[in-house]
Each structure stands twice: as C-alpha cells, then as structure tokens.
Amino acid sequence: MKTSVSFPSDGDRISADLYLPEHLEAPVPAVVFGGGWCYVKELVQPTFAEAISDKGMASLVFDYRGFGESGGAPRQHINPWAQMEDYKNAISYVMSRDEVDSARIGIWGISYSGGHVIQLAATDARVKSSASVVPVIDGYQNLRLAHGTAGFRRLIAAVGEDREKRWSGEEGGTLFHNPQEPGGLATWPFPTSADMFRELKATDAPNYQGFATTVSTEWLLEYDVRSFAARILDTAILFVLAEGDDHTHWDLAMEAFRSVPAPERHLEVIRESTHQTIYRDQSRRSEAAAICAEWFEATL
C-alpha cells in the first residue's frame, strides 16, 4: 500500500511515498530511501521498497530538495551534505508515524546515496541497520578512474571555469548526468547509461531530468566516506556490490567494507553483473531487492 506524504527539511517541503504492509496490527520497522545522482523517487527504488513492505516493514522513499516533486531551489542541485540532512529529516518524519516502531529504523542507498548511508550509519544513532548498494565511496578517485587521464583533465577544467563564472557574478552552468552524444562532456562518462536513464524516464520516472549544476560535480570531487566506514560499530550494515562494476568501482567499495569494525556486517555480490545490471535487468534488480529485504527483516 503506497501513500503520498510530505515533510519539512530545512524550510523546503519534501515529497515522499510511504509504503506500508497490507495488514498492520502493531507498529513496524521502517526503512528510509534516498536515490543516487539526479534520481527521483520513482527511479529503481520502488522495487526495493515493495520487497521490504512485503516482509511486513514500512518504506519511505523521498525526492531530495530541488528534485522531482519536492520543493527547493536551485533545482537539480546535488549538495551531498544537504541530501544527508534530507535523510535525517526523513528519519524524523517516519519515526513520528503511528504505524512505525521508532526504535527500529533502517536506511537504504544506491550509487551516490549508497555512500550517503555509510556516513549516516556512522553518525546518526537512530539508525539501527543500513544497506548500501553499489556505492560511491571516493568521488575524486571514482571520477579519475572513470574518465581516464584526458577526460578527467577536461572535467576538472570545466569545474574550474564554472567556479570563475560564479565568482564573477554569472549564473553557474550544468553538466549532463551521462554523455548525450559520443565524446560529450558529462559528470559520469558512460554513454550507454544515457540510453538506460532515457528508457527509465520513459517507463518509470518522468520527473528524472538527467543533468545537475556543475558545482554538484565539484562537491562530488570532495566527497569521501571511507573515514566514516571505519566508524561504524553499533549499526548493522550490508554492502551489495556488482561483480563487474566499473562505474562506482567495486574495489573502492570492498576497501570501505573491509574497514567497517561493526560485528554485524555482511557483503553480497551480484554475480555476472555490472552497475547497470541492477537498473536494466528486472530479475537482477529483484534479486538485489530480496537481499536487502531479508537483511532488514533480520536486523530490524
């Protein structure tokens, strides 16, 4: 059962979908969902939310400020620290619901938000369990590896030029999520991903826009959650990785997972898959969703 809800976050109104089990006899655990780079709440996340609700738990899937149906300006502006504030306010909201057991709260993230939940698992004591799916760990290393030498120099130059424009009083620019044409500049340099997200926009997520402010990429280059992974002690955490992930790089995620001291940690690898497989292939997405649902059922 899905219901549209909203809650405040730093003065903006956040739009969300609340998924509840069909039969509620007592307050249930809840999992809070935020999406990745440029995501809206309809993109991929419903498969995971429905799997969790089928296990008798609640799920709250929200649009970050500046995205989708949520308020906030500027639009398409990805400030990871502001996004984590939206997560925290989403947790506060879902804890206030009569249907939810406020002592049993989980968080879920994928790609960029897969990194967010690592930091939140280390810093928000309200979180009892977390699931990080194909996460971004270190934005600088991630983009350096993804773009290669020449492409990375081009990206850094574009970020620097945008900063000078903004300093001089001009409006900042934007960068595409993925290249829209061969050789096109984008934050994430994967041409096949552009086709994939266009398909998802047409079928599932019409509010997806496919670009973000250039300063969003500057912040991504400053983003690194490895030190937070090493601080996760009392929170259960699951990593779900794709065997052939060369988008967010499985080896960076493995390094982060190995540094987690929490006794309740678990690693699952989706075999014969890439970062895109969980998006393109419904059966593999359902496989990942089942893993996450079973994890939260066991740890909340």
CATH number at 2-138+224-299: 3.40.50.1820
What number is the average pLDDT over the span 165-180? 96
Residue 155's CB is within 10 A of a number of other CB atoms, namely 22
User: pLDDT tens digits for 38-77?
Assistant: 999 999 999 999 999 999 999 999 999 999 999 999 999 9
Start-to-end Cα distance in the chain? 20
Q: How does residue 191 score in pLDDT terms, banded at 50, 70 and 90?
A: confident
Q: How does residue 23 score in pLDDT terms, banded at 50, 70 and 90?
A: confident
Domain range list for the chain:
2-138+224-299, 142-203
Strand partners, 12: 9
User: pLDDT tens digits for 284-296?
Assistant: 999 999 999 999 9
Could you write out the DSSP letters of every residue in the chain?
A: -EEEEEEEETTEEEEEEEE--S--SS-EEEEEEE--TT--TTSSHHHHHHHHHHTT-EEEEEPPTTSTT---SSTT---HHHHHHHHHHHHHHHHTSTTEEEEEEEEEEETHHHHHHHHHHHH-TTEEEEEEES---BHHHHHHHHHHHHHHHHHHHHHHHHHHHHHTTPPP-EEESS-SSTT--BSS--HHHHHHHHHHHHHT-TT---EEEHHHHHHHHT-B-HHHHTT--SSEEEEEEETT-TTTTHHHHHHHHHH---SSEEEEEESS--TTHHHH-HHHHHHHHHHHHHHHHHH-
**Tokens found for residue 124:** 């928000």
